[in-house]
Amino acid sequence: MPDAVEADVDAAVAAARRAFDDPHGWAHWEPSRRGAAIESLANELEALGEEMARRVSMQNGMPIAIAGQLEAGFPLVVLRYYAELLKTAEFETERPHVMGGTSIVRKQPIGVVGAVAPWNYPQTLASFKHAPAMAAGCTIVLKPSPETVLDAMLFAEAVAASDVPDGVINIVPGGREAGAYLVSHRDVNKVAFTGSTAAGRQIAETCGRLLRPVTLELGGKSAAIVLDDADLDLATIGDDLFAATLINNGQTCYLGTRILAPRSRYGEVVDTFAAFAGSLKVGDALDPTTQIGPMASSIHRDRVEGYIAKGTGDGARLITGGGRPSDLDAGWFVQPTVFADVDNSSTIAQEKIFGPVLSIIQYDSVG
């Protein structure tokens, strides 16, 4: 696959700038006309849905059943939402002024948007950037993660086949250097980034120095709170529990991987999560019955395994998992893993592991 260098980023930004500055171009189209073009892009992507899901699963290990719903389906929802919104959106309004008279408020596109998308939900999270930007009349330079480029190329095919004009969406596959260059490019007017907190800090520093608007969606360590009257019947809650804690192999930023459980039912909670994790099918991401696929890369598996070792070393009690599946001799797999007796100050309670690892912490009251 191509690996962009600075000249490629320059070419992509220049194309986006030409498309934006064109006095008869995208930014000056009637909103309904932009909406129709965005709808045509959704239609092209829908026709490629099965292949899109397959490519995402091939690259980041997302189970194909999840990829079909999310990576093939959710971007269509986002694009069509903004296409529909353009039918009724008001881009100019008059408001009474406090000192008398009226003020005219215009909503205008900001210009060229530099968008950097991650590998865990590459199409969904990219759509959160390009769809609203296109609806506003902006043009976009999208840099996908180097771990998920095959799906970005399929997205490029859909763009080319749609009614979206040349230059409105430009894609530059590349690594950190290409991303950093895009963020700091003199002709970029806005940056949108989803990724790690460390990278987000660097981007925020760059945009702050340039006084450039930036939107950051970064990592965290979300808590799941089990109350003392919770229903712990896996037959009832199993599907929701999976979606809340381990969907996409735990490679999801908002998952409740830090589980706070009441001391009065702590043993029951631990047993429930152990049974839950042990019941999940680990296997080939392209198998429709797989629930937990491989990690996105060997480097990422090493990182997850390092956290598991750290949890054991810090005194947490390993309840289930903790290793690699014995029946899978190829692939970057990690068993669904549950730790009990985790201290809130420990590394695995404080840092995002981004894998199928859950930590259960006791609490005495919600007061």
**Residues designated as active site:** 217, 253
Distances (CA, A) of 313 to 25, 321, 342, 350: 60, 16, 11, 15
What is residue 260's three-state secondary structure? strand
Q: Is the separation of the CB atoms in 120 and 60 below 8 Å? A: yes
Residues in a beta bridge with 114: 141, 191
Edge-to-edge strand order for the sheet containing 112-116? 169-171, 139-143, 112-116, 190-194, 214-217
Of 149, 183, 81, 168, nearest to 296 (Cα)? Answer: 149
For the four alpha carbons of 297, 298, 301 and 302, in that order, the dihedral sign comes to negative
d(CA 283, CA 263): 35
- Mark out the alpha helices in 22-149 (DSSP H runs): 31-47, 49-60, 64-69, 74-85, 122-136
Residue written as token pair 């976009």: 140
Neighbours of 76 (CB within 10 A): 18
Structure tokens of 227?
């109350």
d(CA 115, CA 128): 10
Residues in a beta bridge with 143: 116
Q: Is the separation of the CB atoms in 96 and 102 below 8 Å? A: yes
Of 41, 31, 3, 15, nearest to 188 (Cα)? Answer: 15
Residues in a beta bridge with 282: 292
Q: Is the separation of the CB atoms in 41 and 164 below 8 Å? A: yes
Of 62, 60, 65, 57, nearest to 300 (Cα)? Answer: 60
Listed in sequence order, the residues at least 6 apart from 329 whose beta carbon sits closer than 8 Å to its beta carbon are: none
